[in-house]
Chains A and B, each alone.
Chain A
Amino acid sequence: MTDYRSIKPITKNIVSLNAPAIEVTKTLGGYPLYISDTKPIGVIQIELFWGKGSFHQKQAFQSSLAGDLIFAGTKKRKEVEIVQFFDCLGASHHTDSLFMGSSIILRCVKKHYEKVFSWLLENASEACYPEQGVVSAISVQSAALERQQQTPKYWASRKSMETLYGPNHPLTRYGNTDDYQKIDSTCLFDYRREHLPISDCMLFLSGDIDKEIIAKTDTIMAHYPGGSFSVPKFQDCLSLPGDNTVVQHKVSNTNQVSLQMVAHVSPKNQKEKHQLTLLNMCLGGYFGSKLMQVLREEKGLTYGVSSYFQPAFRDFTWTISGEFTSANTQESFETIDMIFRDLRDTVIPLENLNKIKQYYAGQFRSGFDGPFGMSSKVQHLLYENLDMDYFETVLPSIWAISPKDLNTLANNYLHKESFIHVLAGDT
């Protein structure tokens, strides 16, 4: 008799999303507002999002510190008073600063929403960055940067981007510890006033949202006339050619080398973006990828190696990254080159491609699960300037990609000489 365990259960393909329709509305005062699918869970998340980020800063760390210190004090109140108010009501908040976007995210229990959200707006709109708070934050963050600079990975990432785009490019404004000394209250205040006024934000509400909460939001926002949110505006991005450049950066007393390979990629259209997504997955985008399977699971040369796309305006920086024992670096490079050749010379079997599609589809769909999943997705639409029905088109586009499509793409993009190679550590 056949053991039933030897027969693999039938799996169904994830071919469609069927997410709720996306509709961006407005508050009575004209603020763009997205409300995600609501659930009676007793908690609320509200996110204020601006289409401005580190791209708009005049000096390193200006954007992130302007966000981090948004509750460090106003002319009326000290940081202790502002933060304790949130703390006492069990509310938590954090700020995010991206290249072309910034957010303040607030989470609280439903019964305190009105008080907490009003408090947030009042203090964020009047943040004046008291000198003592700035000095202390600079001391904390510059020490953290110093510690980061002890790791080979930090230098591999930094040197690869600086080599690819040049040291003065907006994508490579890394900043050093002495750049923190140039930050003061005035420059943070100027950044907030210019780029993070409440009038320019968009609102994302999720969690336990009902009519009452929406009405309260309208009332609170009425104190802040505005509604001038604009989506991020991207310019063309220029990079330097790869030319098989190899950069070595010595980091003493390390046992490993951090390896990064980077290339600038400008997809021709949305279709090619989807194809590149799958090609990247095949290369190093998930555990079953060739990089992970060969370098980790077959050869045991690394704990982790991966490939991914970093946003570069409307384009991407294709990045391969991993940590290897110094003696294994050459073998790792050769293996990566062999994988490139293999993807160029061999058409990926349909069965393998379907596995990648199915994995992608499963992860894509689960990203919409839960009360807070949808908000970040809608933000992505706005950030990338995509149509509101874009997400419903993704899975059909992914399933339509053929093995030949990926092979053609591999021949266009995957050449070691197109990538800049950086080694940092005990080189």
Chain B
Amino acid sequence: MIVALAVCALGGLWFLIRRHIELSRPLAVLAWALIMLGVVGVIVATLVGRFGGLYTFLYPLPFHGNWPGWSTGVFLIGLVLVNVGWMIWCLQMLGAVLRAFGGLRGALAWDYVWHRQAFQAAGRQPPPPEAFPALVAGFDGLIAGMDATLLGVSLLVRWLDPRVVINPFWAKNLTYFWAHTFANLIIYMLAALIYVGLPYATRRSYHISVVLVIGWWSSMIFILTNYFHHLYMDFVQPGILQYFGELSSYLTAVPVTAVTVFSALMPVWQSRTRWTLGAIFLYSGLIGWVVGGIGAEIDASVPFNLHLHNTLWVPAHFHTYLLGGCLLFVLGWVFLLLESRSARETSGIMRGTIVALSFGGMIVFLLDFYFGGAYGVPRRYATEPAPGPILAQIATVGAAIMLAGFALAFAEGLRLRWSRAIDRPLWPGELREEASHEG
């Protein structure tokens, strides 16, 4: 789920940044191919080799399971390949924003924030909003990628040479630093689709502001330190890091989410927004981002974490922001593209059915996770204590309804694609011009 949405985010952001500066296609294809090859490795290790070290693969679990040694090796090599592809993409993205917007100072919009009068007097423009997700993902992603390189090589060395003993606590810090940063960056990368997609739906431009820039600076720093909230139960972790983890969790999400969501609502106010499936999915994704984010902040608060740690609350919050946030951003973007290039339109009945099934099912599916977490039902248990089983049954019904909605959306997407008639790529400038002619 994480890698699938990450690949969507990598492709989407790459496409948006390529509107500002030329990017090498072979490099992007290489990054994608390496990630896919890594995914194949993980699938083979898991399904054929029966590797059961979980997606968190915390040391020393990968080396002490009831599965053959080769499956551990294939799993680790798969992860290293995913990481190599990820790092190539990060280097390309960071390099792109440095080239396009005048180095790090320009890409950070430093002068726009601190020397605004001189900046405007010189006729300079700050980077567009989608440049900030690219900068943050490129910069933080490289740090996380280096961390993953270190972890991956260490685990591979341990696999090849059992004499090597790794400090489990050190490995846990590295694992969560990489995995949390990688998973966390997905939604920040996909925010770029909001910045470019919403102006298309509302026919209003998305303005960059000092508050938005500072929100992104905050995220850039604290995305790297909020993973500490995964280690609250590790008593040997220095106490100061636990406090810092809680503070970082709030400072990562709140500024940029609040500013993005608030500023995304502004263009809709008294606009001529056409509530197509694309616009509905994009806007609903904002709700998933906020609800999942609040669920995450609750879990990242130490007094709540004492009760919610390792319960179904954890999958509740990440399913909300991945399924109800990231996936909807991706679907919204795809439908905006399809709708802008199709001769047909989605009928009101079809739109209503898709929305009712997808969101209705999703709410039932996610709520059961939250209730389970609040009741203290543990996750990753083969046999759950009550009320886990009944909640799981209700959630299954919700998931089936949601999947029916997504299947309908998929069929509708195909129908729109088959009736492709107009080639009108998403260029907000041109569209605004077009809108002004209409007005």
Chains A and B are bound partners: no
Residues of A within 8 A of B (CB): none
